[in-house]
Amino acid sequence: MSELVALSPREALGRALVDAGEADRDVVVVTADVGDATRARYFGERFPDRYFNVGISEQNMVGVATGLALAGYKPYAVAFSMFLMRAWEQIRNSPCRLGIPVRLVGTHSGFSDAYDGASHQSLEDLALMRVLPGMVVIAPSDSCETYEAVLQTVDSRAPVYIRVGRELHLPTSCTLGMKFEVGKGYVVRDGGDVAIISTGIMLHFALEAGRILEERGIDALVAHFPTVQPLDTVLVERIARRTGAIVTVEEHSVRGGLGSAIAETLSQAYPVPMAIMGTKTLGKSAKSPMELLEYYGLTAENIAHRAEELVKTARR
């Protein structure tokens, strides 16, 4: 997997689709006229008879992918995350309501398409997909997890949504040697004073925050949940009992995403003080994704500061 470190998430996606197609002749790819930007075109170049471009028509793309799945194929429907959300009704009524394993891949998610402004920044997609019963929702942290998420969902019996970024690649899981598994969360740094739980690219910043807190005498546990649904609830409760305070961090709205999923779990199992960090507004134009992460306070320093505040509150 070391060769994946240098790849951006969308490059890893393109490679994974090709490798999945090589291993299984039933794998097909459908895209909404964004094959080049998403790197789905790599699959089309290798398997032109199994590659379908339906044009700028995400709702139709979901319908075509559903039909292909019903015919016995294993479709990956690839589009920009923000514009895939305009097909939410079709996703609800076809793959989800009927339990058909269509694999939806939303690229350019979160702030990764900073340059095109708020209209292209998908900050609500985890909530929209997580609310659908039976939908598997995955937010990889980097190229390695993106690659594995594709290969591990080829034989999924449930509909899947995989959230992929654009160019920002932070090879955290690659360098940590983590072994991605759908449905599992991971403790990547042990601690007992507070837990920082991330999904997607925020793992990198969560680990940096853990190191900052260590310098301040606070023992922070850092956990990573690339699968938002189904949530690894056993690990969530174990972390809550271990630390007694939790900060969640996501490149997404504070409503309906990872933080909400964890709060829903703990409110019924083992309530502890929580802080949910994410966005509270729509996005905006910027020179880079990093500029937006800083603007919205999703930096290692801000995460550490919020965790430190929570520790003080929990100790009162």
Give a yes or no: residue 170 inside a domain. no
> Bridge-partner residues for 198, per DSSP?
224, 249
156 and 197 together in one domain: no
Which pairs with CB-CB distance under 8 Å and at least 24 residues apart come from 64-67? 64/30, 65/30, 65/95, 65/102, 65/104, 66/90, 66/94, 66/95, 66/98, 66/100, 66/102
Residue 66's domain is classified under what CATH number? 3.40.50.970
151 and 265 together in one domain: no
152 and 191 together in one domain: no
Give a yes or no: residue 173 inside a domain. no
Residue where a domain terminates, one of 128, 163, 198: 163
191 and 153 together in one domain: no
What is the count of structural domains for the chain?
A: 2
273 and 148 together in one domain: no
Range of the domain at 267: 183-315
17 and 149 together in one domain: yes
72 and 110 together in one domain: yes
pTM above 0.85, yes or no: yes
Residue 224's domain is classified under what CATH number? 3.40.50.920
Q: pLDDT tens for the chain, 316 residues: list them.
A: 568 888 889 999 999 999 999 999 999 999 999 999 999 999 999 999 999 999 999 999 999 999 999 999 999 999 999 999 999 999 999 999 999 999 999 999 999 998 898 999 999 999 999 999 999 999 999 999 999 999 999 999 999 999 999 877 677 787 787 889 999 999 999 999 999 999 999 999 999 999 999 999 999 999 999 999 999 999 999 999 999 999 999 999 999 999 999 999 999 999 999 999 999 999 898 889 999 999 999 999 999 999 999 998 877 6
Q: How far apart are CA 146 and CA 164, in angstroms?
A: 7
